[in-house]
Amino acid sequence: MKSRLKDAENYPIINLRLLNYTIPFKLLSLRPIMKARQVTFIILLVVLADQALKFYIKTHFFLDDSHKIMGNWFQLYFVENEGMAYGWKFGGQAGKMVLTLFRLGAVIFGVWYLRSIIEKKYNRGFIVCAALIFAGALGNLLDSMFYGLIFEASDRGHIAALFPKHGYAGFLHGKVVDMLYFPIIHDAHFPKWVPVWGGEEFVFFRPIFNLADASISTGVITILVFQKRFLKHHLGNEINDTVETGAVVNDDVQVQ
């Protein structure tokens, strides 16, 4: 009995009065609680994988170099961007600085928010999604903050070296490394009657991205798809945690 009670300490407790015994009992959903060390593991796993792939691409590929992994539809295609996810740009160098500072602010806020939802015992799936979004933002922030300092510039005829005497840019002005390219549909063209793009080449999926972008997208899309389930489970935690039965038994012994 003592070992079971000890195991129950990590779960929300309700008092179930049954046969005149008061017994600590797990919530009926039997939903485990997400712990901070588990969230930290997820974040570290994503960031380390993202940075390892970026380091490899940066130190082994020429700029705009590509290698086919699975036919034409999956390639490692090295590009750098100064803007947002999937190569979208924002306002030149000034925009780059604003975007980097925004990412820094988002990461600082993310630390507080993750701690808050863990303490409030939010739905496990929601916490995992929030951790994926945070890890992706952190991964791209590291590029923006430090890559200009620790790498040479990459171009079509030169592979960058790590830790040169002088980097290619200052602090907060690094370029984000992208490499994942999935041109599943290619060698196609828009019909001529399509406005603006009529007759132009059509490629799907055109954007080139990295693991950090994929982590952010996975977290956001999953939250949008399962938001009702996540919200339902969170609201369930706010229900009164005490449940009693109406059983009447003549037994004066209680277990606390």
Q: Tally Cβ neighbours within 10 Å of residue 180.
A: 20
Provide CB contacts within 8 A for 238, sequence distance 6+.
none
252 part of the active site: no
Instruction: Tell me the DSSP string of 77-138.
Output: EEEEESSSGGG---SHHHHHHHHHHHHHHHHHHHHHHHHHHHHTT--HHHHHHHHHHHHHHH
Q: How far apart are the first and last CA of the chain?
A: 11
213 part of the active site: yes
Whats the size of the chain, residue-wise? 256
Whether 160 contacts 151, CB under 8 Å: yes
Residue in 7, 50, 155, 178 annotated catalytic: 178
Q: Is the Cα torsion angle 87, 91, 96, 99 positive or negative in sign? A: negative
Tokens 């370029």 identify what position?
A: 175
Residue in 213, 241, 251, 252 annotated catalytic: 213
Which residues form the catalytic set? 178, 213
